[in-house]
Amino acid sequence: MNKTIKNPAYAAPISAPRQLLSRCRQIGPGLLVSLAIAMASAFIADHYGGPTLLYALLFGMACHFLSEDGRCLPGIEFAARALLRIGVALLGARITLGQMGSLGWETVLAAVCAVAATISIGWLLARMLGVRADLGVLTGGAVAICGASAALAISAILPKHKDSERDTLLTVVGVTSLSTVAMITYPIISKLLGLSPEQAGIFLGGTIHDVAQVVGAGYMISPATGDIATVVKLLRVALLVPAVVVIAWMFRRQHKASSDNNRRLPMIPGFLLAFVCLVAINSGGLLAPSVSDAMNELSRGCLVIAISALGLKTSLQKLASVGWRPIALLVGETVFLAALVIGLLFLSR
């Protein structure tokens, strides 16, 4: 009687490619849909202006019905989680320790205080308005640090509940819209307050939520203001790592036994470790400018695809049901941050 002997040592190399191919087939449809929406959003933003992330979010929400198709859902989930973390990690390629050191310890300390105070105010306002505390921390972090990118990074480590994705989408929509308004109005406020080019750069870089809007507002005033605003903004982006670590620690303690969060929250998520490593490598001059630029573009692409996927997972009807409180929360945090930075600038005169 002939018996076929199976050798696991030879079976593994054959099964691994098959598993990879099966995984690609599983996530392919949803990933391609997210990519198509991201490309359409980038095309419209490049040719007609406006924030790419906001377009990606709105187009994704308009195609929400695709997330109800079982074939697309795995790829949409992959884009919303894995590509999100890759995009946030690659943000480190645009930051160096030298950029932060050039601002002086007073500016660095003021930025740290402003970030901590804004997140704390978000938590306090959330309690006053009767919404979840984690929504206050999410919106406060988005306003305080770097807008949509911070919202995505913080949402990745917050405990999950039935409204998690809706809260993230609402935060991204709100913070992107407010950032666009700030890009237009804050240069005017700088002129009315009589701020010097250096002070205006600190004000714009310390208050506007998204990097692109900071650059646009700064160079509206002068090249010097634009340069300072960009460096101050990158300092706020660098504070994403300690902020997320602290938030992860807070919610790890508070939600250790939560029934809607069966997995333990990591103390330092892997994508943040990658972020720190890239900052260190870039600070040492080991990244060629072309490589750094390519990583920045890849980071932006991953974030746009992730936002498209998040939009696909959220319905307009569900988003419209949140009421006025989250909007008031975002506006209150934005006004607080602007008033705080202006107050610190006048105190330093």
- pLDDT tens per residue across span 93-128: 877 888 777 777 888 888 899 999 999 999 999 999
Each residue's pLDDT tens digit, 161-191? 777 888 888 888 888 888 878 888 999 999 9
> Which portions of the chain are predicted below pLDDT 50?
1, 3-5, 9-12, 257, 259-262, 265
The whole-number pLDDT of residue 259 equals 44
Rounded Cα gap, residues 158 and 329, in angstroms: 18
Rounded Cα gap, residues 347 and 142, in angstroms: 26
* Helix boundaries (H) for the chain: 8-48, 52-62, 73-78, 84-90, 97-101, 105-129, 133-144, 148-157, 164-192, 197-207, 211-221, 223-238, 240-254, 270-283, 289-312, 316-320, 325-347
Rounded Cα gap, residues 126 and 120, in angstroms: 10
Spatial neighbors of 126 by CB under 8 A, at least 6 apart, are: 132, 133, 135, 136, 137, 139, 329
The phi, psi pair for 200, rounded to 5°, reads -65, -40
- With vertex at residue 247, the alpha carbon angle to CA 203 and CA 275, rounded to the nearest 5 degrees, is 70
What string of DSSP letters covers 270-311? HHHHHHHHHHHHHHTT-S-HHHHHHHHHHHHHHHHHHHHHHH
The whole-number pLDDT of residue 273 equals 80
DSSP, res 249: H
The phi, psi pair for 329, rounded to 5°, reads -60, -50
Written as one letter, the residue type at 295 is M
The whole-number pLDDT of residue 257 equals 46
Rounded Cα gap, residues 260 and 156, in angstroms: 15
Rounded Cα gap, residues 246 and 262, in angstroms: 20
The whole-number pLDDT of residue 337 equals 95
The whole-number pLDDT of residue 7 equals 52
Q: What pTM, to 2 d.p., does this model score?
A: 0.71
Q: Do residues 32 and 75 lie in contact, with contact meaning Cβ atoms separated by under 8 Å? A: yes
DSSP, res 113: H
